[in-house]
Chain A
């Protein structure tokens, strides 16, 4: 039995110490040998290490026990649920950086990896992005294990699959791919996994970054993957055959694939009366159209085609603009720009200052601008309606895109009138209908059209929707158990 470590291990420990990534080494001698307990202090639960790893080692050394090796330690000493034996010294550094504790024995060439990782987490808290008045209030946090536990607490299906991958050559960020094996389209799962494997980057910190790598078109404006903050919604998506991606360190889960219509969906639509859900979706679709077009239409009507207005309104329109010093195009652009400034400022400042900015914005835009006649009162009303409409869209990823697209339509309309407006709308629609998300047409169920799914885009209840969305091409197409051979 060796009393000293082999030179290889001694060299390895010396090398790791010299690299100065703050590795701590605790040496515990025992009869006829010694152990090295190596870990990074910031990444482990040091109290647990002391209690469940070091204390048993010290106790056993006092009992003069001989022949302590890796196998003996795992079987009879460490009070730890997750520990295993390793023998490849090249992996030691990776284990340490991942928050594991590595225990070397002078009497054994192998070592023990003990998982006593500790990451500072916040507790599960109510969602901030996907607010709902009816849905459960537990939302995802930055810790992946907590997020997975939230999922598994809601779904007790043995078909759930969790595939973990490390992304980032330096950060080694854990990414969990979660799906239901008997529902999800396997080609989507395969594509997601392949894309994750193909990511070559030094680090990923947030699910949004991963989303960027996984999206099909690198120049695509519209989001091809959705985000989920609520665990109940995530489970619902699993049941619909989606693939979820949980990223360690991110409180937002990514879902794939996604279609445009799903951005208009809020979980309240499902929990509440289906007719109220229909009403709200109609409001949201209207809001999308209004937010995109209302100010462009103002330009088209006031500067190019006043004939489209009833005659009386033409005069009212002209009266409201009679003191405006700039053209309607410039006025719209300026006002939209001011609102974007206010919005951005409100996002970047503390909440207490935010209210002050809102007041200043309201006074400057609402009072001074109309009193001085720089902007027509009608334009202010229309811009405000457009601004409010963007907040009605439940998913901020879509509303952010619409903010950009709105400027495109405004500029095209400002240059070409209704002609430009039509070109811009046609362009946007053609982009939407030609896009796809992991093989699923992005504008489904409208293009390609499917009546069953299209109806349920507006009015949904599990009672009359026994089948899952057809455009998803799931393995199990039935949502309701016992109907047309569907599985529970």
Chain B
């Protein structure tokens, strides 16, 4: 009989061998690395499209051609595995039958859900993804109204794969304060919350390139609407909040002349009130507008400045109000998470009410201030300082 210590060590070692043995190992080059997944649902059947990186093709480029990447037929950088079935499990099985190596999902950059599927509900699919440890929870979850095959016909300029191309585009916009990020983890959290309303980025193919087309509005697990990107500045300001995280260029017209500003939201305070059984919010928003350039050698006087500031303020007010209106009245879902501000201010009342019902009746008032900043590197008006 072994002594107690030896038995414990032997037991631990045996468990190690059983659960973490070398038979779990599979070299990365022996796996099919998936970079993007598109999930579609049409006429009651599901389809998965997986973009698989062709690692051998890359080696031919770099290895045999001296790393210059030119010459010879190197084959495509990716190939598409398709799977169809009546259920998710069947569809996955079908896709596994189409590839010759074990699929590696840890490199998936974009999980794209078609509008068809999103309108019918993504809960089951979200649950399916949640139980899988293979996906990175930081990957983007997106919606598209395009056909899946359209994506894979694109030759992205900024990457060799569609998945990375989408990721790079979104990250680039996000870093410059022009969109917000909604990851798989965020989506799962939203779905598990009491008020599951949220926006998912929507991508589409235009002129042979993949671009952010807007945001799909989700109430619960269903896609109920769409906000085009061109009209989403107010929404993005509200989603990203203060701290200068969001930045947009605003050309302000003054007659035939225009002055362009870089506008960022410096601070945003949401005050939630509850009186007479009515919910109201006051949003104090301070914007900073940095003068970038005028349309011509315009002389900016203090009167002109006040006029421009007022115009810019009105433009911002209009965009913010429109964004709030869309959320409250048009889509009737609180994707700006106003419920959080209200819950913190009035926890007792929040507990008793059905937030969704109260939210659509809520009133919003905005208090917007714009602080104009001079671009010190350029003197637009020699001989006279600005601001005066």
Contact = CB atoms under 8 A, between A and B. Distances in A.
A318 B28 contact: yes
B10 interface: no
A416 B33 CA distance: 23
B151 to A, nearest CB: 18
A318 B53 contact: yes
B164 interface: yes
Contact of A322 (B16, B17, B25, B29): B29
B78 to A, nearest CB: 10
A423 B9 CA distance: 12
A319 B56 CA distance: 6
Interface residues of B, number: 31
Interface stretch (A71-79, A306-314, A402-410, A463-471): A306-314
A311 B134 CA distance: 12
Given A319-B59, A322-B55, A311 B28 contact: no
A324 interface: yes
A328 B31 CA distance: 14
A442 to B, nearest CB: 22
A327 B21 CA distance: 15
Interface stretch (B104-112, B259-267, B281-289): B104-112
B354 interface: no
Given A304-B25, A415-B22, A315 B55 contact: yes
Nearest to A315: B53
A416 to B, nearest CB: 5
A129 interface: no
B113 to A, nearest CB: 19
B6 interface: no
Contacts of B104: 306, 314
A322 B59 contact: yes
A277 interface: no
A185 interface: no
A327 B55 contact: no
Given A307-B136, A311-B106, A318-B31, A417 B55 contact: no
A327 to B, nearest CB: 6
A419 B16 contact: yes
Nearest to A316: B58
B121 to A, nearest CB: 28
A337 B16 CA distance: 27
Given A318-B55, A416-B22, A420-B20, A306 B28 contact: yes
B136 A419 contact: no
Given A302-B27, A318-B53, A321-B28, A311 B35 contact: yes
Interface in B77-115: 104, 106-109
B26 interface: yes
Interface of B: 16-17, 20-22, 24-29, 31, 33, 35, 53, 55-56, 58-59, 62-63, 104, 106-109, 134, 136, 161, 164, 167
15 contacts: A302-B29, A303-B25, A311-B35, A311-B106, A311-B109, A311-B167, A312-B107, A314-B33, A318-B31, A319-B58, A321-B27, A322-B29, A322-B56, A323-B56, A417-B25
Interface of A: 301-304, 306-307, 311-312, 314-315, 317-324, 327-329, 373, 414-417, 419-420, 423
